[in-house]
Amino acid sequence: MSGVSARTISQLETGKRGAPRVASVRMLAQALSLDAEERATLLNVTAGHTEDGDAGDPSPKPMTTARPQRKKCFLPRGVPDFVGRKAELDRLLGPAAAMRTESMAVTVVDGTAGVGKTAFAVHAAHLLAERYPDGQFFCDLHGFTPNRGPLDMMAALRALLRMADVPAERIPASLDERSAFWRAALAGRQVLVVLDNVGEPGCVHPLLPGTAGSHVMVTSRRRATTVDGSTSISLDVLRPDEAIALFVETAGRDRTCDELDAVAEIVRLCGFLPLGIRIAASRLRSRPSWTVSRLAERLRARAYRLSELDADGEHGVAAALMSSYRVLNADQQKLFTQLGHHPAVHFDAHSVAVFAGMPLRQVERLLDELVDHHVLMEPVAGRYTFHELLRDHAKALAISAGPPDDRADPIDRLLAHQM
């Protein structure tokens, strides 16, 4: 039995009551054993046709406007000095046009801290916006934001549903129902959704639209291995010419045109990392008495390089790298820190196992995991190295951890292994 009275059913059938009450719809959904998706669909179908005068019913009401308004855009402003990334943009924009009506596209943009994932995603989203006329949504999940915890899926769905004009009191209480409501709200629509700064790409499934014609872009420092059917775009550091162009655009042509050799040295000392380049260029721009050569001189001091690339303690390179370190588990953190003492620029799993005094299989697994977290690079299969600034960060962590009692032993073991 549904719990809906025979009198109510009779009134609905004869037209004496034009619409069911919300509580009646909920009881029918329960009696029919509908799952969250089906329940959300039923509530959306009856939205605007139900009577809201259910005394004593504190449960969330269905939304009166289930679909986002056309041309609703929540994308943040793109960076005015965006440079490079032509190959990556071509790879993203071409398939997006072909898949727009055939399926729901998911693109995961990954890369190390400070490589420009958000700037790339927002720039691409503005280029794609006209292809998705029913709305462009943006949600920062704060997966790696310094001094702030990540946004869980419940909070993210609440934010997205509010963007879709769902009144706060009508947002369901459970994750499954919120996810179903979100899919129902976007059904039949062509929307673009940017999910930025995601800690674990595989956790975004509740935020994905369910119908063809939409596109979701995810940015993360983790490589995506669990988002079915997604296209992955891994961002590397900028090419030297792109890095120079970014520095010049940010610092100002008038400050740099006579010292391009020093500019080239600065972007190299920044490891061609966009975040470091922007901070260095901004420091030059804010100090009229400095020359480009003076800034290059300050960056040459490796022990102080990360502090030179600081920005109010929260937005500098060191803070970005530390936020990547903090999400590592204990074994990953231990090996990352130990590698800060490794004397070689490039190393393989065997030498690391000897140096760290760990079983080879465990080292191989941990090295793969550090690559997936983008805190280590594998330019050639089986050969690993650090990004220049990440090596400085690992070394700083190793020094701050204090010297172990057997500091000489790792080096001795490594030398013995190589003889």
pLDDT in tens, 308-317: 998 776 788 9
pLDDT (0 to 100) of residue 48: 45
pLDDT (0 to 100) of residue 99: 55
In the numeric block, which tokens belong to residue 340? 């800060």
The Cα–Cα gap between 190 and 363 comes to: 46
Q: Quick check: 227 and 250 in contact, CB under 8 A? A: no
pLDDT (0 to 100) of residue 303: 85
Count CB atoms within 10 A of the CB of residue 287: 12
pLDDT in tens, 225-263: 667 778 899 999 999 999 999 999 999 999 998 899 999
In the numeric block, which tokens belong to residue 373? 């977290």
The Cα–Cα gap between 382 and 342 comes to: 16
In the numeric block, which tokens belong to residue 132? 């998705």
| Among 36, 43, 22, 31, CA closest to 2 | 31
pLDDT in tens, 314-340: 788 999 999 999 999 999 999 999 998
- pLDDT above 70 covers a percentage of the chain that reads 76
Helix (H/G/I), strand (E/B), else coil: 147:
coil
Q: How confident is the model at residue 59 (pLDDT cuts 50, 70, 90)?
A: very low
The Cα–Cα gap between 342 and 242 comes to: 31
Biggest distance spanned by C-alpha atoms of the chain: 94
In the numeric block, which tokens belong to residue 69? 């308004």
Amino acid at 372: D
- By mean pLDDT, which of 24-38, 245-259, 356-370 is the weakest? 24-38
